[in-house]
Structure 1
Amino acid sequence: MTPSLPFAGIDGCRGGWIVARWDGGATLLLERIAAVAPLFERADAPDIAAIDMPIGLPIGLPEQVGAGGRTPERLVRPLLGMRQSSVFSVPARAAVMAGVGPGEETARYRAACAAALAASDPPRAVAKQCFHLFPKIAELDLLLRHRPELRARLVECHPEVAFWAMNAQAALDLPKKVKNRPHAPGLDLRRRLLGASGVPTGLLTEQNARALGAGLDDLIDAAACAVTAKRVAEGKALRFPDPPEADALGLPIAIVA
């Protein structure tokens, strides 16, 4: 019999998403999916999923994006110490949509920067690393606008904030990567925190990461998101801000941990 896996953590990877399905106990399953929507069409769809991707976008003027991005980013950065650079500033909806429109990448990036500059105060362009997330941000935006019943089941999280919560609300002192390469001590620290939170960590290996076409940090981050999903289900999750804000289209704006 297939075990019930009510909690899911979802982390973006190159060309898709890594999903960590967890029963809250001894069973953790990992898979790679191309898109998020079909996950919720399956018979074994998760009850709660936490995803490492922004949900809810500021509309721009007159709701300008201030320095530091949305309220959630501004609230969680100070918690993370040396890890706060992992929290990107999310630009206005117009910038995201310009970045995923037709045309070649350079033109789309310029259009996204122009839209972001027009909707931010002080004016701020789009970081290239954030620009490459726009297709995934737009994917979630479309899903939650068309399926509003999922808004309570698919929540935004951030792995480093999840690990902060697992670490007795203290910032981690070791990075996952150094000079864009995996940093074994930092990855081991995060595996230990997952284990202490009840997550079986036997599948969180380089071998499984290669088999799934992802990085080991993607697997570890997805598992951290699954811990957040369980905390949501148990009513123990923290929200930044609390209560969440909402964008102009009604999508919630909060990072959950």
Structure 2
Amino acid sequence: MNSEFVGVDWSSGAWVAVAYSDGRDDPEGFVSEEISEVWEEFGESASRIVVDVPIGLCEPSDSGRCACVADGDGELSRECDNLGRSVIGQRYRSVFTAPCREAARLAADGAEHSEVSDVNRSVTGKGLTQQAANISAGIVDVEDLLLGAGASERFVEGHPEVCFRAFNGESLCYSKKTALGVDERLSALEAVPEYSDGDWRKVVQQLNGTGFTIGMDDVLDAFALALTACASDEEYRRLPESPPEDAKGLPMQMVYRSKMPLIE
């Protein structure tokens, strides 16, 4: 069986996947409303799946089960979020603070943002952005899959901006929503051996006719995650280097691909 290396981006209610295979010349594009369908498509053959949603969440500090770190004001956050912001420079706002588990579950169930934010504040010491609340359904779906399917060893968290930063060798300058940002990210992908010129066009053509409206930025994010999944043991790295586990046993980390660590 061929080994697949898959990147998955959450895109406004759809999961966009790009897969490279050691037995196939061209990458494969796939899109679905359910993360479980991504697992059904690639789970048996995947060596590694890198997904762009938080895995491993905060619990109340007095529970004795929280692996988050506290700042000077006592506010809790995941160390990987803090490190991710530190390595991408001026793009740091793209790494938002992940919700605590209770807030994520509430948001996924359709609770009002004010209630979700208040619960998050009671656990971590700070409210929750609307953006973080908006992806909570995806966070919960991934967590349920990992806890139910035993996929956690091969299904790991990555952040596209951290991955692009590692490929590029320096911080990116432009938003992924701009033409200059697209050009900047394509140039970063072209520095990775598995990527061939025009791979993005092949995937876009495969996604055409699926009934989903997928942005170019989401396709490029999925590519960054897929190419990170392709990393050799020597290039496969984590933020932090030795990630803690949350109360469910899930690692709190962001993976990336680089010959040298982004943080010494």
* TM-score, normalisation: structure 2: 0.83
Q: State the partner residue of 1:48.
A: 48
Q: State the partner residue of 1:164.
A: 165
Q: State the partner residue of 2:6.
A: 8
Are 1:50 and 1:226, in contact at CA under 8 Å, matched by a contact in 2? yes
Q: State the partner residue of 1:229.
A: 229
Q: State the partner residue of 1:119.
A: 123
Are 2:168 and 2:191, in contact at CA under 8 Å, matched by a contact in 1? no
The match for 2:184 among 169, 180, 189 is 189
Task: After superposing the two structures, state which structure 1 stretch, 199-208 or 52-61, moved more.
Answer: 199-208
Q: Distance in 2 between matches of 1:159 and 1:35?
A: 20
The change in CA–CA distance for 1:60 and 1:152 in structure 2 (over 3 A counts) is same
Are 2:58 and 2:77, in contact at CA under 8 Å, matched by a contact in 1? no
Q: Distance in 1 between matches of 2:3 and 2:26?
A: 8
Q: Distance in 2 between matches of 1:218 and 1:68?
A: 29
Map 1:168-179 → 2, pairs under 5 A: 168=169, 170-177=170-177
User: SS at 2:7's partner residue?
Assistant: strand
* Amino acid in structure 2 at the alignment position of 1:18: V
Q: Distance in 2 between matches of 1:14 and 1:65?
A: 30
Q: State the partner residue of 1:202.
A: 198
The match for 1:137 among 130, 139, 146 is 139
Q: State the partner residue of 2:92.
A: 84
Task: Give the CA RMSD over aligned residues.
Answer: 2.3
Matched-pair identity in %:
27
* Amino acid in structure 2 at the alignment position of 1:191: L
Q: Distance in 1 between matches of 2:47 and 2:90?
A: 34
Residues 6-60 of structure 1: per-residue CA shift (max 9 Å, x gap): 1100001122100001126841121212222233334764221101110011112
Q: State the partner residue of 2:113.
A: 109
Q: State the partner residue of 2:156.
A: 155
Are 1:7 and 1:23, in contact at CA under 8 Å, matched by a contact in 2? yes
Q: Distance in 2 between matches of 1:65 and 1:238?
A: 21
User: SS at 2:86's partner residue?
Assistant: helix
Q: Distance in 2 between matches of 1:39 and 1:173?
A: 32
Q: Distance in 2 between matches of 1:234 and 1:250?
A: 23
The change in CA–CA distance for 1:110 and 1:65 in structure 2 (over 3 A counts) is farther
* TM-score, normalisation: structure 1: 0.85
Q: What residue ranges of structure 1 are gaps of 5+ in the alignment?
A: 178-182
Are 2:29 and 2:204, in contact at CA under 8 Å, matched by a contact in 1? no
Are 1:58 and 1:93, in contact at CA under 8 Å, matched by a contact in 2? yes
Are 2:17 and 2:38, in contact at CA under 8 Å, matched by a contact in 1? no
Q: Distance in 2 between matches of 1:216 and 1:42?
A: 22
Are 2:168 and 2:188, in contact at CA under 8 Å, matched by a contact in 1? yes
Are 1:7 and 1:46, in contact at CA under 8 Å, matched by a contact in 2? yes
The change in CA–CA distance for 1:5 and 1:189 in structure 2 (over 3 A counts) is farther
Are 2:80 and 2:240, in contact at CA under 8 Å, matched by a contact in 1? yes
Following superposition, the deviation at residue 75 of structure 1 comes to 1.0
Task: After superposing the two structures, state which structure 1 stretch, 41-50 or 5-14, moved more.
Answer: 41-50
User: SS at 2:31's partner residue?
Assistant: strand
Following superposition, the deviation at residue 210 of structure 1 comes to 6.5
